[in-house]
Copies of this chain bind each other. A is one copy, B any other.
Amino acid sequence: MSDQDPREPDAGPAADIASMEGRLELSAPADPETMELVHALLESLWVAHPDVLDVDRFRFETAVIEILANIVEHAYQLEPVDGERSPRRFEIGVAANADCLVATLGDNGLPMALDLSDVAMPEDDLAESGRGLALAVAALDDLHYERVGGRNQWTLLCRRAASA
């Protein structure tokens, strides 16, 4: 859940990642097929940071993939769909330091209509959808959304567990 005011631009993690050493940045079409490549991006991050605990890897990967799935699924839903692939793209950056795991995701799709502080698991245990954002929020220490210059900007933060 965000403890930052989403209406106020801040110099939080979003500003930090561009200066984090070893960061991995990818720009690609916002297609379901690109998801495997983002898993590979995270695997590469773990190879570079073998000291990140499984528990932190799991929740970070969960949140990154949920936010990306939302981008792929929702951010373009009102656009006309034609036979040709239209240039729907996203950017993702991931990085780790001794204290935290950070990801930024950006896309040129429609603005998100939701207020993140209202996000919750569906009432109905047998609902087949509607858990994505709530799962990302539950997995992260901070999820931040901003609309900047016609783009959606997400910042994801996991504070790393102290290793045993």
Chain A contact residues, CB within 8 Å of chain B: 21-29, 31, 33-34, 36-37, 40-41, 43-44, 47-48, 85, 87
Contacts and interface: CB of A to CB of B under 8 A. Distances in A.
Copies of this chain assembled into the complex: 2
Contact of A34 (B27, B34, B44): B44
Contacts of A26: 24-27
A28 B41 CA distance: 10
A24 to B, nearest CB: 5
Interface of A is mostly: mixed
A85 B44 contact: no
- Top 7 nearest A-B pairs (CB, nearest first) are A40-B40, A25-B27, A37-B44, A24-B28, A26-B26, A33-B47, A22-B29
A117 B36 CA distance: 39
Contacts of A36: 40, 43-44, 47
30 contacts: A21-B29, A21-B85, A21-B87, A22-B29, A22-B85, A23-B27, A24-B26, A24-B27, A24-B28, A24-B37, A25-B27, A25-B28, A26-B26, A26-B27, A28-B44, A29-B48, A31-B48, A33-B44, A33-B47, A33-B48, A34-B44, A36-B43, A36-B44, A36-B47, A37-B40, A37-B41, A37-B43, A37-B44, A40-B40, A40-B41
A47 B29 CA distance: 12
Contacts of A22: 29, 85
